[in-house]
Amino acid sequence: MSSTEPDKPCPFCALSNEHYLDQNDVGYVVRDLFPVNPGHTLIIPKRHVGSFFMLNRDEVDGLWQLMGRAKAQIDEAFAPVDYNIGINDGPHAGQTVPHVHIHLMPRYLNDTADPRGGVRRIIAERAIYSND
């Protein structure tokens, strides 16, 4: 059964705060259970909402504050060289848990043969847009 099915509880709403790495009034930070790279982290609003575009201004501001603190913690613990930040918003964008969450994905030297295109690689043939 997919986590997008209505009779299955939201895995993010079911998380207890013992899993939180950090939190504020509007959201919390956890490690991704299926990390792309070491330190892959999720920033999640406490209110169950499916789309980033349904968040209110206080939630957006609070989640970005948590993002900054999470980045500092990842820098110290894992020393990545760069980051990707991503939100899959809706099932056609790859969202499998219908509770908005922001991926903070640390990147490391040589973690992929060619990082050019970054998040544009969701459609691989459109990833490279220059002759460089």
How would you class 96 by CB atoms within 10 Å of its CB: exposed for 0-12, middle for 13-18, buried for 19 or more? exposed
40 in catalytic set: no
Q: With the CA atoms of 107, 99, 91 and 117 taken in that order, what torsion angle do they form, in degrees rounded to the nearest 10?
A: -20
Alpha helices in the chain (DSSP H): 57-78
The one catalytic residue in 40, 48, 99, 101 is 101
> Which residues does the annotation mark as catalytic?
101
